[in-house]
Amino acid sequence: MKKLQRFFAVIITLLSLFIAMTIIYRSGYFTECYELIGSLFNTAQDIAYSYSGNYENLDGSGSLIEDSEVESLNDSKIDGSDYTFDTLYYPYYGMLSTSEKEVYAQVYANAIAYEDSFVPVSQVSVEDVIDIMEAVYSDHPELFYLSTKYGYLYTSADNCVQITLKYNDLINDISSSTASFENVANQIINAASELSSDYEKEKYVHDAIAKICNYNENSSLSQSAYSTLVNGSSVCAGYSRAFQYIMTKLNIPTYFVTGTATGNHAWNMVKLDDGYYNVDLTWDDQDEGIIYNYFNLSDADFSSTHTRTNLAVNLPECNGLAYSNLEEISDEENISNTQKNTNIEPEIPESLVTKENTTTETIPEKEGESTDTPNKSSSHENAPVSGIPNNAIRDNKQIEAPNTQNAGNNKMQIPVSPSRP
């Protein structure tokens, strides 16, 4: 599929150039035609690579209200003051001001209580709210039941006076959805926990997710980790949030990164003992099998294809070296012998391997090669807090992280031969 997509990309580009050159030859309007060539070429590239841009930015919708209306606004009365967040695991929280952090905690507390609307505990502007929401969504993949849409009300002084969270369909049976989500995640966590080093755990999770999920730009709930782990069908946002969720449960700092890479895109950043690394699991999951072209790369190796945007530009530099290129072999050998480079032996249970032959995201090659209103079923007190690593969230309620050594009864295993169709 990847080769076929690249073929059509080349054909579209060449056809556009041919049309443009014909117009120049017949018209003599060279300046106008030069501009047309650029326009056609850019259009061709947009068509050829449109499938790469499947990360959706958050969609906040705001409405201006009169000051006299503020007193009558709905408020859940949940202020989030019980929560603080360790910035080693939640870096976007650390990028915010004090007042923004207070509202961040309030958003999180209302989300795990499945509440709709609340009045911010601190004065924040509309621009502040945009950053706060991006920070919460980027730090917390366990909130898979949140929609990428949200609302807010503001006054003429640009003060945000109400925030409204929106939920996807999973909220209608949140207990069942959470159980399904954690069942799959815990099988991967259990098996990875038995490995000795963070690097081995990272590679195991990388491979396991690739084996149970297909890239599919038409997948439902594609911006959530749920789509990857439960539905087995997602795009870059789903892959990256699933990887972030499981790695965080393993107490390995892993961040969700957004930016551009032939379109809007999402990937991850992982902290190992000698520094940070970039990981693009989506681009490593190809129809033919798992590759490692975008596994544990420094910014220097990554910057030619990936550019951070929004709050992600404030994340640490990736300059780790010790764990780069340990899996680097040729694509053909890599694809046909994916498991030869790993000491992970057992197989993935058949119940988890639901992959179908769907579209794989086309990626540029290595340098030197060619590119190509919810139904609430739980109260705040009983709301599950998933994906919290040990000591990652400290609060007065003393919510504890799940024991990753006993996350589930069944060990997840990776097969000796790839199980992909």
**Are residue 43 and residue 189 in the same domain, yes or no?**
no
Rounded to 10 degrees, the C-alpha dihedral 166/168/171/172 comes to: 120
CATH of the domain at 188: 3.10.620
| Strand intervals (E) in 199-340 | 214-215, 233-234, 254-260, 264-272, 275-279, 285-286, 289-290, 295-297, 307-308
Domain hosting 15: range is: 2-52
21, 37, 52: which is the final residue of a domain? 52
Element (H, E) at 26: helix 2-27
pLDDT: which is higher, 188 or 349: 188
Looking at residue 352, its pLDDT comes to: 58
Looking at residue 420, its pLDDT comes to: 25
Q: Is 225 exposed, middle or buried (0-12, 13-18, 19+ CB in 10 A)?
A: buried
pLDDT band (50, 70, 90) for residue 208: very high
Helix (H, G, I), strand (E, B) or coil at 402: coil
Whole-number average pLDDT of the chain:
79
pLDDT band (50, 70, 90) for residue 29: low
Measure the CA–CA gap between 255 and 251, rounded to whole angstroms: 12
Query: Does some domain include residue 354?
Result: yes
Q: For 282-316, how does the pLDDT look when each residue is reduced to its tens digit (9 = 90+)?
A: 999 998 899 999 999 999 999 999 999 999 999 99
pTM, two decimals, is 0.74
Please count the helices (runs of H) and the strands (runs of E) in the chain. Answer: 12, 15
**Are residue 33 and residue 181 in the same domain, yes or no?**
no
Q: For 91-144, how does the pLDDT look when each residue is reduced to its tens digit (9 = 90+)?
A: 999 999 999 999 999 999 999 999 999 999 999 999 999 999 999 999 999 999
Q: Total structural domains in the chain?
A: 2
Query: Does some domain include residue 397?
Result: no
The neighbouring-strand residues paired with 117 are 164
What are 162's two structure tokens?
């109400």
Looking at residue 57, its pLDDT comes to: 92
* HSE of 232, CA atoms in CB hemisphere, 13 A: 14
For helices 98-112 and 126-139, the axis angle rounded to 10 degrees is 50
Tokens 């690394």, residue located? 277
* Cα dihedral across residues 84, 89, 93, 94: positive or negative: positive
Query: Does some domain include residue 152?
Result: no
For helices 198-212 and 236-249, the axis angle rounded to 10 degrees is 140
DSSP 315: S
CA 379 from chain center: how many Å? 28
The yes-or-no verdict on residue 370 having pLDDT over 80 is no
Query: Does some domain include residue 257?
Result: yes
Query: Does some domain include residue 133?
Result: no
pLDDT: which is higher, 396 or 163: 163
**Are residue 43 and residue 187 in the same domain, yes or no?**
no
What are 178's two structure tokens?
């959470």
Measure the CA–CA gap between 324 and 195, rounded to whole angstroms: 19
Looking at residue 24, its pLDDT comes to: 64
Q: For 46-102, how does the pLDDT look when each residue is reduced to its tens digit (9 = 90+)?
A: 444 444 458 899 999 999 999 999 999 999 999 999 999 999 999 999 999 999 999
Rg of the chain on CA atoms, in Å: 23
Query: Does some domain include residue 12?
Result: yes
DSSP 327: T
**Are residue 183 and residue 321 in the same domain, yes or no?**
yes
* Cα dihedral across residues 229, 208, 290, 89: positive or negative: positive
For helices 30-49 and 2-27, the axis angle rounded to 10 degrees is 170
Decide: 56 and 236 in contact? Cβ < 8 Å.
no
* Cα dihedral across residues 172, 175, 178, 180: positive or negative: negative
Measure the CA–CA gap between 113 and 82, rounded to whole angstroms: 13
CA 293 from chain center: how many Å? 19
Query: Does some domain include residue 66?
Result: no
Closest CA to 108 of 311, 310, 312, 387: 387
Query: Does some domain include residue 131?
Result: no
Q: Is 99 exposed, middle or buried (0-12, 13-18, 19+ CB in 10 A)?
A: middle
Looking at residue 146, its pLDDT comes to: 98
Tokens 């340990």, residue located? 326
